Amino acid sequence: MSDAAAGNSVPPPPSPWERERPARPQAAPARAPLSRDRVVEAAFTVLDRQGLDGLSMRQVAAELGVAVSALYAHVTSKDDLLELMYTRLFDGFRMPEADPERWREQVREYARGGRERLLAHRDMARISMAHVPFTAELLPHVESLLAVFRTAGLPDRIAAEAGDLISTYIDGFVLEEEMWQDRAARRGGGDASLARPDWREMADEMQGYFASLPAKDFPHLRALAPVMVTDSSDERFDIGLEIILRGLASYLPGPDAPGPDA
């Protein structure tokens, strides 16, 4: 039985004119509403492309395709935006419970993770150094780091300084890395966010220079030239961190511990 006989409606075939008619353009997808998260993500995009000196509210608005005034419904100022960007680096991060038997390893993990967070985006070390991390979102991390030092048995005065010392070391080390990265970009004429310094080449250059110095005037620089600069930034970071940790360990209670005024 045919479809027509069965009472089913069969649409007629398209006419030649319909076949030739261009397809109706699809409606553009609705733009996601502006939000604080979108503003922060756009700011990271601009930062990675242009660096901190090129980051402006106008550039962020252009990245989002909105008027600058629209941003101020979600952030109060550029400083507020920078603080939000820094805070975003700690999303998902949680310090483990302080363990006096593993305090050094816990500090190593914290420091290495902090360096990785700063290196995730261009110029974040500069932003970190300009913002005190005592916001409501970051205070728990500060509290947890201090707990590691105090639980290990460090005197309160040393524990209080140690938190700032570790943070300053991380910021300063990454800032130096970013400066070398910018230098590599200028040499190669490329994008600073993609440039990677040739640490082996730089180490060879500096070691060669130290070794060429007059032995009479610079005996120690010449003697240490082979080990003065390593070809691994990771190795340099870990060695510096180990120097700090061994210094802190010298303040733990014991027969050779320095006095309270040391």
DSSP annotation of 189 reads T
Could you tell me the CA-to-CA distances from 35 to 65, 70, 136, 137 in Å, in that order? 13, 10, 20, 19
Q: What is the pLDDT of residues 144-161, one digit of tens each?
A: 999 999 999 999 999 999
165 backbone dihedrals φ, ψ, rounded to 5°: -60, -45
pTM of the model: 0.78
Both tokens of 115, joined, read: 């360096």
Question: What's the pLDDT at 1?
Answer: 53
Residue ranges per structural domain of the chain: 36-88, 103-249
Question: What's the pLDDT at 256?
Answer: 47
| Contact between residue 131 and residue 82 where contact means Cβ atoms under 8 Å apart | yes
Question: What's the pLDDT at 127?
Answer: 94
- Is domain 103-249 annotated with CATH 1.10.357.10? yes
DSSP annotation of 35 reads -
Of 87, 89, 83, the C-alpha closest to 120 is 89
H helical segments located in 51-155: 57-64, 68-71, 78-88, 103-119, 124-129, 139-152
Q: What is the pLDDT of residues 178-227, one digit of tens each?
A: 888 777 776 665 555 555 556 677 778 888 898 899 999 999 999 988 88
Dihedral angle of Cα 202, 48, 169, 172, to the nearest 10 degrees: 60
What are the 10-residue block averages of pLDDT along the chain, 262 residues in total?
A: 54 52 51 90 96 96 96 95 94 93 97 96 93 80 95 97 95 92 68 60 82 92 83 88 97 65 47
- Is domain 36-88 annotated with CATH 2.60.120.10? no
Question: What's the pLDDT at 133?
Answer: 65
Q: How many CB atoms lie within 10 A of CB 250?
A: 13
